[in-house]
C-alpha cells in the first residue's frame, strides 16, 4: 500500500519508470529490427551482448533523465504545491520564490502575488472584524443573538456585564429569571413573520436590582432568505424610567402645592391673558370654580375702562398694588398682583398670583382714622384757641349791639354795618375751621388725584399753627411756587404733614422746654422744591434729633420714643404707608445744627390726567 502510494504521488519515480519502459521497449524493437535485417545475427550470444550494452546505456540515461526532471520539474512543482498548500491553509509563505524564468517560475511569482493579495485582504478583513467586534461590544445597549429555541448564541460586552450569562442560556432565563418563555415573545414573532418588533420590558440585573429596557428585534437570514437567528437590541431605560417616576411624583407634589396655595394663582396665555389654569383658591376669593374660569380672560376681573392699562402691566410682569377686582357677585376686591414669565408644561406662560388685601386695607383705614382722632386730640388746645378768636370778636360785637338796644341808644348805620361785617367774617372763619376739622376727621377714600403739595402743606399748617404759636414755636416757610402737581390723596397727605408737625413740636419741647424763647432755637422749617423730576417737601425742626441706633426703626409700627400715653407709635408708620401708596418715598436724617429733617419725594407724573387708570383708585403704590 505504501509502495502504491509512493509510486502514485512521486512524479519523478513515475517519470523514471515510464522513461525506462520506453527505452527498454525501444531497445527490444531495435534488436528485433537488427535481427531481421542481418541474417547472420546470432540471437543468444549477440542478444545478450546487445542487451547488456543497452542496459549499461539505459540505466545512466534513465538516472540522468530522472535527475534532470527532478531538478527542472518535480522539485519546482513540489515547491509550488507547498506554496499552494500554505495559501489554502491561510499561512504566510515562508519559502523563497522560484528563480527560474520559465512558466513554473512565472507561476511561482503569481502564487506569491496571490499570497500578498490574500494577506492584505486578510488584514483588511481582520481590521473590519475588529472594528465590528469593538462596536458590537461598546455599543451603548444590550445586544444578543438568539436561535429558534431562544438560546443565546452571541452577546456583547454590556449584555455580559449586565446579566453574566453563558452561551446557550435561554433569553427569558437571563432577562427575567423565568423557567419558561414569555407569553408574548417578540423574538419568536420575528422567527414567525420575519419582521422586526419593538417592546418594553422589565426584569432584574445580575445584582437582583430591577431594570427596564426598550428592545427591538431583527431577523438574520441565510443565503436562501430563511431566518436562522434573531438579533435583539435592548436599551437600558432604568434611569430614564426612575427619572420619569420622580418627575411624575414631583409634578404631583407641584400640583398639590399649586392647588393648595392659599392665594389665587392663575396660568395665563402671555399673548391674550386667557386663563389656561388656576388653583382651587380662586373659589373662596372670586366665587368661581376652576372649570368656570378656564378659557376666560383674566382682564374680566377689572372694570372695562381699566383693562387695557392693566394688560400692559401684567404682560410686562410688573407688580400691581391695590388693583380693583370684582368677584362673581360683583363685590369689589382690592388685590395685589404679581406676574412673572415661566414655563408650564413646556409652554411659555404668565404665572399670576393675586392677594386679597381688602380686609387689610379696611384695617389700615381704621388705623388711619384712629390716628386722625388721636391727632385731633393732640390739636384740641390749638383748635380751641383758633375758635376762641372769632367767637370773642362775635361776642364783643354782639354785646356792643345789645347794650345799645338796652339803653335805647341809636346806632349809626355805618357802625352797625361794621359790626355785622365783623360778625359775618368771624362766623365764616369759625365755619371754615369746623369744616376743616370735619373734613380732616372724615374717613378718606382710596382715590388718588393730582394735588399741589403747597396747598396740602398750607392746610396742615393752618390747622396746627395756632397751637405752635401758643407753645412759642415759629413756622418758617421756604416755598417754591408753581410746583408741578403730583398724585396723592389730599386728606391723607395732610395727615402726614400734621403727624410730622406734631413730632417736630414734641422734639423741640423735649430739647428746649422752657430754657429758650429764642425763635431760632424753637422753629420748624417747611420747604418745597422740584428736584430731578420729583417734588420734594421737607419738615425740619430744631429738636433733639433721632439717635442713630433707632434711625432704622422709626417707621416700624408701634415703635415710639415718647413716654407711655403720649404716643401710639403709629404716626410715622401710617405716614410711611400713605407716602408709599402715593408712589413716593419718605426718609429721615439729622441736621448738622441739631434737630431732624423729614424729606418726602413725590414723582411728577408724565401725563397730566387726573390719575392713571386703576392707580387713581387701586394702584396706590408702585415703589418706595
Per-residue pLDDT tens over the stretch 440-477: 555 555 577 899 999 999 888 877 777 777 788 888 99
List pLDDT tens digits, range 503-539.
Answer: 888 888 888 876 666 666 789 999 999 998 899 999 9
Among 63-77, 82-96, 275-289, the range with the most confident prediction by mean pLDDT is: 275-289
Q: Give the pLDDT band (50/70/90) at residue 286.
A: very high
More confident residue, 5 or 530: 530
159 pLDDT above the threshold of 60: yes
- Angle at Cα 587 formed by Cα 557 and Cα 496, nearest 5°? 60
Residue-by-residue DSSP string for 206-259: TTS-EEEEEEEEEEEE-TTS-EEEEEEEEEE-HHHHHHHHHHHHHHHHHHHHHH
Determine contact, residues 449/611, Cβ cutoff 8 Å. yes
Determine contact, residues 41/49, Cβ cutoff 8 Å. no
More confident residue, 537 or 69: 537
List pLDDT tens digits, range 114-139.
Answer: 777 877 787 888 887 777 777 777 77
Strands 585-590 and 486-488: unpaired
384 pLDDT above the threshold of 80: no
Q: What percent of the chain has pLDDT over 70?
A: 70
Determine contact, residues 151/169, Cβ cutoff 8 Å. yes
Determine contact, residues 11/73, Cβ cutoff 8 Å. yes
- The SS3 of residue 528 is strand
Task: State the average pLDDT over residues 14-41.
Answer: 63
Residues whose CB falls within 8 Å of the CB of residue 345, separated by 6 or more in sequence, listed in order: none
Mean model confidence pLDDT for the chain: 77
Task: State the average pLDDT over residues 97-102.
Answer: 62
Rounded to whole angstroms, the Cα distance separating 80 from 74 reads: 10
C-alpha to C-alpha distances, 51 to 17, 59, 573, nearest whole angstrom:
18, 12, 154
Burial category of 585 from C-beta neighbours within 10 Å (exposed 0-12, middle 13-18, buried 19 and up)? middle
Domain 361-623 CATH class label: alpha beta
Q: What is the pLDDT of residue 42?
A: 55
Q: Give the pLDDT band (50/70/90) at residue 5.
A: very low
CA 290 to chain CA centroid, nearest Å: 26
489 pLDDT above the threshold of 50: yes
Model-wide pTM > 0.95: no
Rounded to whole angstroms, the Cα distance separating 36 from 24 reads: 18
List pLDDT tens digits, range 301-330.
Answer: 999 889 998 999 999 888 888 889 999 888
More confident residue, 47 or 287: 287
Q: What is the pLDDT of residue 431?
A: 73
Q: Give the pLDDT band (50/70/90) at residue 7.
A: very low
Dihedral sign for Cα atoms in the order 39, 40, 45, 51: negative
Task: State the average pLDDT over residues 280-293.
Answer: 90
Q: What is the DSSP letter of 586?
A: E
More confident residue, 365 or 306: 306
Among 154-163, 236-245, 479-488, 561-570, the range with the most confident prediction by mean pLDDT is: 479-488
618 pLDDT above the threshold of 50: no
Rounded to whole angstroms, the Cα distance separating 259 from 252 reads: 10
Of 24-33, 226-235, 264-273, 525-534, where does mean pLDDT reach its minimum? 24-33
Q: Give the pLDDT band (50/70/90) at residue 8.
A: very low
Q: What is the pLDDT of residue 50?
A: 63
Task: State the average pLDDT over residues 170-179.
Answer: 81
The single residue listed with the C-alpha cell 446579566 is 163
- Angle at Cα 198 formed by Cα 194 and Cα 200, nearest 5°? 145
Determine contact, residues 543/510, Cβ cutoff 8 Å. yes
Report the 3 state secondary structure along 590-616.
ECCCCCEEEEEEEECCCCCCCCCCCCC
The three grid cell numbers given for residue 507, joined into one nine-digit string? 422734639
Q: What is the pLDDT of residue 540?
A: 94
- Angle at Cα 421 formed by Cα 415 and Cα 423, nearest 5°? 105
| Per-domain residue ranges of the chain | 2-78, 139-242, 261-356, 361-623
Rounded to whole angstroms, the Cα distance separating 458 from 439 reads: 15
Determine contact, residues 270/350, Cβ cutoff 8 Å. yes
C-alpha to C-alpha distances, 68 to 15, 57, 64, 221, 370, nearest whole angstrom:
11, 17, 6, 56, 141
Q: Are domains 139-242 and 361-623 of this chain identical in fold?
A: no
Q: What is the pLDDT of residue 296?
A: 93
Determine contact, residues 571/583, Cβ cutoff 8 Å. no
Q: What is the pLDDT of residue 486?
A: 93
Half-sphere exposure of 606 (CA within 13 A, CB side): 1
91 pLDDT above the threshold of 70: no
The three grid cell numbers given for residue 589, joined into one nine-digit string? 436724617
- The SS3 of residue 276 is strand
C-alpha to C-alpha distances, 118 to 94, 108, 254, nearest whole angstrom:
15, 15, 68
Residue-by-residue DSSP string for 370-433: HHHHHHHHHTHHHHHHHHHHHHHHHHHHHHHHHHHHHTT----HHHHHHHHHHHHHHHHHHHHH
More confident residue, 375 or 181: 181
Rounded to whole angstroms, the Cα distance separating 203 from 163 reads: 10
List pLDDT tens digits, range 189-225.
Answer: 998 898 998 888 777 766 777 878 788 899 999 888 8
Count of residues for the chain?
624
17 pLDDT above the threshold of 80: no
Half-sphere exposure of 158 (CA within 13 A, CB side): 15
Smallest CA-to-CA distance from 484 within 601, 358, 393 is with: 601
Dihedral sign for Cα atoms in the order 573, 575, 579, 582: positive
With left for phi above 0 and alpha for psi between -120 and 50, is residue 124 left, alpha or beta?
alpha
Strand partners for 356: 335
Smallest CA-to-CA distance from 13 within 66, 65, 60, 56 is with: 66
Domain 139-242 CATH class label: alpha beta
Smallest CA-to-CA distance from 497 within 477, 517, 514 is with: 477
Domain 261-356 CATH class label: alpha beta
Amino acid at each position: 500500500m505504501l509502495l502504491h502510494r509512493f509510486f502514485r504521488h512521486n512524479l519523478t519515480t513515475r517519470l523514471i519508470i515510464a522513461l525506462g519502459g520506453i527505452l527498454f521497449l525501444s531497445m527490444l524493437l531495435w534488436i528485433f529490427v537488427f535481427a531481421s535485417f542481418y541474417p547472420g545475427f546470432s540471437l543468444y550470444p549477440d542478444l545478450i551482448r546487445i542487451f547488456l550494452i543497452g542496459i549499461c546505456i539505459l540505466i545512466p540515461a534513465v538516472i540522468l533523465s530522472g535527475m534532470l526532471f527532478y531538478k527542472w520539474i518535480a522539485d519546482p512543482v513540489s515547491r509550488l504545491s507547498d506554496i499552494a498548500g500554505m495559501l489554502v491553509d491561510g499561512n504566510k509563505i515562508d519559502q523563497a520564490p522560484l528563480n527560474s524564468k520559465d512558466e513554473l517560475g512565472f507561476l511561482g511569482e503569481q502564487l506569491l502575488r496571490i499570497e500578498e493579495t490574500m494577506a492584505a485582504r486578510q488584514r483588511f478583513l481582520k481590521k473590519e472584524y475588529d472594528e465590528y467586534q469593538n462596536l458590537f461590544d461598546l455599543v451603548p445597549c444590550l445586544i444578543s443573538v438568539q436561535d429558534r429555541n431562544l438560546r443565546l448564541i452571541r452577546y456583547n460586552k454590556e449584555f455580559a456585564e449586565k446579566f453574566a450569562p453563558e452561551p446557550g442560556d435561554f433569553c427569558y432565563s437571563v432577562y427575567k429569571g423565568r423557567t419558561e418563555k414569555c407569553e408574548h415573545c417578540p423574538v419568536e414573532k420575528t422567527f414567525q413573520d420575519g419582521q422586526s418588533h419593538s417592546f418594553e420590558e422589565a426584569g432584574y440585573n445580575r445584582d437582583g436590582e430591577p431594570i427596564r429596557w426598550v428592545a427591538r428585534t431583527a431577523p438574520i437570514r441565510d443565503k436562501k432568505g430563511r431566518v436562522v437567528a434573531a438579533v435583539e437590541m435592548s436599551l437600558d431605560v432604568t434611569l430614564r424610567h426612575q427619572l420619569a417616576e420622580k418627575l411624575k411624583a414631583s409634578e404631583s407634589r407641584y400640583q398639590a402645592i399649586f392647588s393648595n396655595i392659599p392665594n389665587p394663582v392663575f396660568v395665563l396665555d402671555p399673548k391674550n391673558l386667557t386663563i389656561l389654569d388656576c388653583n382651587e383658591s380662586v373659589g373662596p376669593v372670586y366665587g368661581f370654580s376652576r372649570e368656570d374660569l378656564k378659557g376666560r380672560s383674566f382682564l374680566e376681573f377689572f372694570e372695562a375702562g381699566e383693562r387695557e392699562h392693566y394688560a400692559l402691566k401684567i404682560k410686562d410682569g410688573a407688580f400691581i398694588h391695590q388693583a380693583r377686582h370684582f368677584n362673581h357677585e360683583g363685590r369689589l376686591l382690592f388685590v395685589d398682583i404679581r406676574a412673572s414669565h415661566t414655563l408650564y408644561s413646556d409652554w411659555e406662560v404668565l404665572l399670576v398670583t393675586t392677594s386679597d388685601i381688602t380686609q387689610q386695607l379696611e384695617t389700615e383705614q381704621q388705623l388711619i382714622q384712629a390716628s386722625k382722632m388721636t391727632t385731633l386730640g393732640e390739636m384740641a388746645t390749638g383748635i380751641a384757641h383758633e375758635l376762641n378768636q372769632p367767637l370773642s370778636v362775635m361776642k364783643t360785637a354782639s354785646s356792643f349791639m345789645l347794650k345799645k338796644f338796652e339803653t335805647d341808644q341809636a346806632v349809626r348805620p355805618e357802625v352797625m354795618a361794621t359790626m355785622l361785617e365783623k360778625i359775618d367774617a368771624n362766623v365764616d372763619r369759625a365755619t371754615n375751621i369746623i369744616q376743616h376739622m370735619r373734613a380732616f376727621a372724615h374717613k378718606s377714600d382710596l382715590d388718588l388725584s393730582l394735588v399741589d403739595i403747597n396747598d396740602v402743606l398750607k392746610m396742615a399748617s393752618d390747622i396746627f399753627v395756632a397751637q405752635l404759636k401758643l407753645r412759642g414755636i415759629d413756622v418758617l416757610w421756604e416755598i417754591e411756587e408753581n410746583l408741578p402737581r403730583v398724585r396723592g390723596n389730599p386728606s391723607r397727605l395732610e395727615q402726614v404733614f400734621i403727624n410730622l408737625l406734631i413730632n417736630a413740636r414734641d422734639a423741640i419741647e423735649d430739647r428746649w422746654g422752657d430754657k429758650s424763647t429764642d425763635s431760632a432755637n424753637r422753629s420748624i422749617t417747611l420747604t418745597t422744591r422740584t428736584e430731578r423730576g420729583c417734588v420734594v417737601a421737607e419738615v425740619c425742626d430744631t429738636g433733639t434729633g433721632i439717635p442713630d441706633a433707632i434711625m432704622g426703626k422709626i417707621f416700624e409700627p408701634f415703635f415710639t420714643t415718647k413716654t407711655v400715653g403720649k404716643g401710639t407709635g403709629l404716626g410715622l408708620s401710617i405716614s410711611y404707608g400713605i407716602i408709599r401708596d402715593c408712589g413716593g418715598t419718605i426718609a429721615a436724617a439729622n441736621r448738622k445744627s441739631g434737630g431732624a429733617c423729614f424729606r418726602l419725594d413725590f414723582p411728577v407724573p408724565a401725563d397730566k390726567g387726573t390719575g392713571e387708570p386703576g392707580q387713581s383708585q387701586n394702584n396706590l403704590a408702585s415703589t418706595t
